[in-house]
Structure 1
Amino acid sequence: MIPRLALRSSLRMGSRAFGTHKTPLVLSPQEVNNLAHSKAPVAFLDATWFMPNSPRKAREEFQSKRIPGAQFLDLDEVASSHELGLKHMMPSPETFANACGELGISPSSHVVLYDNHGVFSSPRALFMFRSFGHDKSSIVNGGLPRWIDEGLPVETQAPTKHQPAEYPPPSIFSQNIRSYEDVLANSAFNPKDNINVELVLDARSSGRYTGQDPEPRPGLSSGHIPNSKSLPFNLFLQKNVTKEGGEYTTVLPPAEIRRVLEETIGAEELEDVINGQRSVVASCGSGMTAGVIWLGLQLLGAKKAALYDESWTGYAMRETSPIVKSA
């Protein structure tokens, strides 16, 4: 029996191929610096986000240090409200358009996103822009730490608010987003049995996936969605050390991302994902680091990659959710 969800997804996703963008998904700091000195309209956005239990404050760090001309994108504010109180859910077209307009972004702007980790929350922001059809968008590979480490200029005075711009509400590519109902229906089927079943990749740590380690959110069960596979997001990243001894992450080259995926799901299955025979859904704790998995898939040209917006927090909060606790 073919799951109706997966078959519907297979049909509806055929019109959108994320692997064919002309604007690079990832830029080095020097490439970004060159872009900043070109005549093209560029909008820099600091999309830093920290876990709720972190002592670091993203907006405060932005106020003290940023790429020159950058504005702050608060992913928890540019979001839709949720019945379970979940944060940074995908915004409505109107919310997205209003935020872009207030940040001085027009539909013709090349939006360059970065974060203070290196690569952590910027891919989620990139997913948002690309899902609203703003294909002129990229992330800084290595974020602000690499930018500084390479000796590029930093702005430390109070940020200047940009002149508002016109940004009409865009259409959202809903085929890139999965709901709880989508994921729950899909979880009843094993991807090995039918190519129409979507492959769910869980970006959380392996301990949280197996249920051996607790979730960082108090009272939330660990474990995983039935028939999902564990793929910790940091497997797509490389740790780097600055001249000052600090650390930051960068995205692995596509060849290394391919190797990781082949080890996780198998070479044949990966080819099905890349050529669009198999749909894949990235999930994580709250929908943030799933963006790293989504980005890696885009760098390989995967044609049908989506993101489970609520991710594990929304899934595990519901009593109707089957939870598996094993390897």
Structure 2
Amino acid sequence: MASLLRRTSARLLTTSQRWLSTSTTDAPLLLSPKQVHELSKSEPVALLDVSWFMPNSTRDAKVEFINKRLPGAQFLDLDQVASTHELGLKHMMPEPRVFAEACGRFGIQPSSQVVIYDSHGVFSSPRALFMFRAFGHQKSSILNGGLPRWIDEGLPLEGTQPQTPRVTNYAEPILDEHMIRSYEQMVSNSSLDPTKDSSAELVLDARSKERYTGTAAEPRPGLSSGHIPNSFSLPFNTFLQKQISNSDGSEYTTFLPQDALRRVLEGSVGHEQAQLIINGKKPIVTTCGSGMTAGVLWLGLRLLGVKNIALYDESWTGYAMRPSSQIVKN
């Protein structure tokens, strides 16, 4: 199967563009709409719409999916394919059984090529990709630019009730626990200065700078803003670039090119720390408001070749909800 993927990928390469892939056996991390369209002609592709909106949004991801989606796509609800949490937090990493059952319902097998997208362009799709990769499903990618870019490039759509795929038996996978951080681990690490202590993990916070400094309120009522001690601010949208649709003038997002991603990282942590990160000498943990856009930072770093990255699953909501948590505001 790995050799088949390499042959398929080779057909899609040009002299001016190469896959941004972590190895020769992994699927590309990013795919363009045209690449997805061509790939689907040569092998079965499982397309998953993982659109998710903030709790205060009036948009309904499931309704939008029914009305407009990629042909053959299924809807993966990240709040449903999740584990229960003592604090009632949403979209936490699912148990292996829950992940396997969801894949089976979508007709996905461990050998399936999975392409994930959302309706923002890039927002919730990296979090879903993180989930697949954490469970060892390396043949998984995101559609860079998501549904809006697909539409912008004039590719076909569906707008009727989706067909139910044939259920498969997806073997229960093993979660790579090195990719997840707990509250206790974050508290322990927060006492260390990552610029001075080689054993400390460098924590990158994907929320806005204002929420990080405590000068703006959190979107979740009653939750304090601020940040974890010794963490760095790197708003997720600084890893992205806005695109304007030629069809209706609307905006959507795609990832910045590699050199621009590096400059953004250096602007957050400094040149020296960025070098250590890219060279694999400084482990990283990404966090955000609820564990969603931390996936954008995770994927952006992966595009820079960084592999030693974990994600704080509870993120700021879980951290700030606990009265014992130390919160910094500046």
TM-score by length of 1: 0.93
Amino acid corresponding to residue 93 of structure 1 in structure 2: P
- Answering whether residue 311 of structure 2 is matched by residue 312 of structure 1, we say no
- Tell me if structure 2 keeps the 8 A contact 1:282–1:305: yes
Partner of 1:188: 191
**Quick one: distance in 1 between partners of 2:268 and 2:33?**
31
Is the counterpart of residue 253 in structure 1 residue 234 in structure 2?
Answer: no
C-alpha displacement at 1:318, in angstroms? Answer: 0.1
Taking the aligned partners of 1:168 and 1:19, their CA distance within structure 2 comes to 24
How big is the alpha-carbon RMSD for the aligned residues of Structure 1 and Structure 2? Answer: 0.9
Question: What residue in structure 2 maps to residue 136 of structure 1?
Answer: 139
**Partners of 1:278 and 1:189 in 2: CA distance:** 13
Unaligned segments of structure 2, at least 5 residues: 1-20
Distance in 1, matches of 2:22 and 2:182, equals 23
Q: Which residue of 1 aligns with 2:12?
A: none
Partner residue of 2:287 out of 283, 287, 290:
283
Q: CA deviation at 1:41?
A: 2.5
CA deviation string 1:26-47 (max 9, x = no partner):
0000000001111x23100000
Out of 269-278 and 122-131, give the one that drifted further.
Answer: 269-278
Aligned to 2:34: 30
- Aligned-pair CA distance for 1:274: 2.0
Post-superposition Cα deviations, 1:42-70, rounded to whole Å, max 9, x if no partner, equal 10000000001100010110011100000
Aligned to 2:115: 112
The answer on whether the counterparts of 1:280 and 1:304 sit within 8 Å (CA) in structure 2 is: yes
Q: Which amino acid aligns with 1:272?
A: L
> CA–CA distance in 2 between the matches of 1:93 and 1:300?
28
Report the Cα offset of residue 22 of structure 1.
Answer: 3.1
Residue 157 of structure 2 is aligned to residue 158 of structure 1: no
- State how far apart, in whole Å, the 1-side matches of 2:153 and 2:309 are: 33
8 Å Cα contact 1:215-1:221 kept in structure 2:
yes
Corresponding residue of 2:51: 48
Name 1:100's counterpart in structure 2. 103
1:123 aligns with 2:112: no
SS at match of 1:144: helix
Q: Name 1:15's counterpart in structure 2.
A: none
**Greater RCO, CA 8 A, separation 6+:** 1
Question: What is the Cα deviation at residue 271 of structure 1?
Answer: 2.0
Q: Which consecutive segments of 4 or more residues in structure 1 shift more than 2 A?
A: 18-22
Q: Among residues 41, 60, 77, which one is paired with 2:80 in the alignment? A: 77
Matches within 5 A, 1:221-300: 221-243=224-246, 244-300=248-304
Figure out how many residues of one structure are paired with residues of the other and give that number. Answer: 308
Which digits, 9 at most, give the CA deviation of each residue in 1:248-279, with x for residues without a partner? Answer: 00011111101100111122212211222111
Q: Which runs of 5+ in 1 are unaligned?
A: 1-17
